Amino acid sequence: MSTAAVLCAAGFQHFRDGRHLDASSCCQQALDIDAEHTDAQHLQGLLLLHARQYSDALEWIVRAIRRAPKPEYLASFAEVLQQHGRCEEALGVLDKAIQLRADDAALWCQRGDVFIQQARFAQALPSLQHALKLDPRHQGALYKSGAVLHKLGRNEEALVNLDLADGLFPNHVPTLRTRAWVLYCLKRYEESANDGMRAHQLDPDNAEICNNLGLALRRLRRNQEALAWFETAIEIRPRFADAFDNSLVALFHLHRFDEVFALADRMTSLGLNTTVTEWNVSLAHLLTGNFEAGWRGHQTRLKLPSAKYHRFPQPMWLGDEDIEGKTILVVADEGLGDTVQFVRYVPMLAARGARVVLVVQDPLHRLMSTLRGAAQCIPMSAVGTPPPFDLHCPVSSLPLAFKTRLDTIPADMPYLPSLPDRHVKAWEDRLGPRTRLRVGLAWSGDPSHVNDETRSIPLRTLSRILDVDATFVSLQKAPRPHDAAVLRERSDIVDLTADLTDFADTAALIRCLDVVVTVDTSVAHLAGALGCPTWILLPWTPDYRWLLERADSPWYPSVRLFRQTETCEFETVLDRVRDELRARTAGGHVVIGA
């Protein structure tokens, strides 16, 4: 081996070990001996690439390729092109390298990485998987395939790769950071926090790790700890908008509302106030009873990425224009419960002389089709071809349009259409003689809801109230698998939900009950709007419409609110519900009422 080759080999070893000054010294000596030594030219290109001197790096690597187009030189050439954002050219160069050395896992991994840079994740995955076929222990391919599978929404598969990567290469920060986020997306928050803590110990100056760790802790309802991590993220990156927003949410859940508003003002002064910020602040205003500011801010929901409101060319009506003699299209824009809550304003529109065309979610259509004040009711599936109209208004904007305050909430009950007697009687007959208190139960909402883990209750937990001498009737459509298993075991819950085709059926069944015990979901709104005695189980920080501390609701006079304390658990809440139910069945006498 020549002296230049020996020096070059030593230089590469220094480079791999991170001793770049020593590597540069060896490289320069090798080039002094043989200026055309291709490995030395390549090493010089790598050193310049590490120093981010991309143009000079490209020149040295191309010199090496012209004399000897080795696959490793082509890989470095592709890396420079990738750094310049010339990804298509980089892919072409890598394809040539792979033709020369098709069994090189690193080349296939690099090819996948270029696709990742272009956000072409479906194309990145086959290259990464082929790299793993060639070398099942290839670190980059393992954790990057995990990251790509996550981007493709295949989190369970992603976790398999990331677990393997962590087992083979422990304390690799990118693996831990990616796995923590995948675990978060799988709602495995405790494990996510553990991985986040490990990643932070290895990389304490990484703001993203701190922020994501805070998110996991917040989901675990450890908001005080979460807040500290968001603040740490901001210390590391003073203009980290997501960390500011997350701090605001943590303060919200700690009921520190003055600090919420102060932080929002600080964000505005820093130019970091986003639509998400405005939305969260509006919820804080509404929850604390400041409806004037709250309803205005509530409009920002229409700008959120999750907004599904159809954009119409006609003007949006928000209460300022005379609507007498005009046709207004009122369209559902949030959840089923929101639609049930806010259709109470439809008769008020009609009273102003408007012709109201109401568009609701399909499961509500049959129930709402004869709503007072609605000239026509259309299912959401047909909203693409509405009849002619002059103005439109999202149904959740009606409180703003009517300038609703706490003391002006329209609460005449029931406001939903009357159900045919035969419809109700059919459910009465199926329930049999009314010999005991009939209690409807609903224990979970939409699992995709942002606060689902705080508002939904496992049926096994709810079962602590079932020893009361009452007839319990399920109102829970599509129970989750673990709840369905419990429900099959319980002979003390009447389950007729397979025959509930829509909300008209559910409303008829509720008419046969004495009281409904439910979490904060659409059933709560439906029962309340029907005037049925309804007991709602609320988390410590409830949805804005239930306000704070009070046991009643200005929206629904027949509702009672059973709130968590700061312990944020439902067991004691359910104990209070059980005591109330027992009081209503004391001495064998059924006592009806809220």
**CB contact at 8 A, 372 and 309:** no
Question: What are the structural domains of the chain?
Answer: 1-68 (1.25.40.10), 327-408 (3.40.50), 421-588 (3.40.50.2000)
The residue among 464 and 40 whose pLDDT is bigger is 464
What pLDDT shows up at residue 418? 87
Confidence class of residue 307 from pLDDT cuts 50, 70 and 90?
confident
Per-residue CA distances from 446 to 40, 335, 449, 456, 523 (Å):
62, 9, 5, 9, 12
Average pLDDT, integer, range 452-477: 94
Confidence class of residue 373 from pLDDT cuts 50, 70 and 90?
very high
The mean pLDDT value of the chain amounts to: 92
Confidence class of residue 128 from pLDDT cuts 50, 70 and 90?
very high
Least confident piece of the model among 15-19, 50-54, 508-512, 524-528 = 50-54
The token pair at 443 is: 């224990």
Question: Nearest 5°: phi and psi at 511?
Answer: -60, -20
| DSSP secondary structure letter of residue 2 | -
- Is it the case that residue 593 has pLDDT exceeding 60? no
**pLDDT for 480-491, tens place per residue?**
999 999 999 998
Helix (H) / strand (E) containing 178? helix 173-185
**CB contact at 8 A, 265 and 249:** no
Average pLDDT, integer, range 176-202: 97
pTM of the predicted model as reported, rounded to 2 decimal places: 0.87
Cis omega (within 30 of 0) for bond into 363: no
- Is it the case that residue 456 has pLDDT exceeding 60? yes
CA contacts within 13 A on the Cβ side of 317: 22
- Is it the case that residue 27 has pLDDT exceeding 90? no
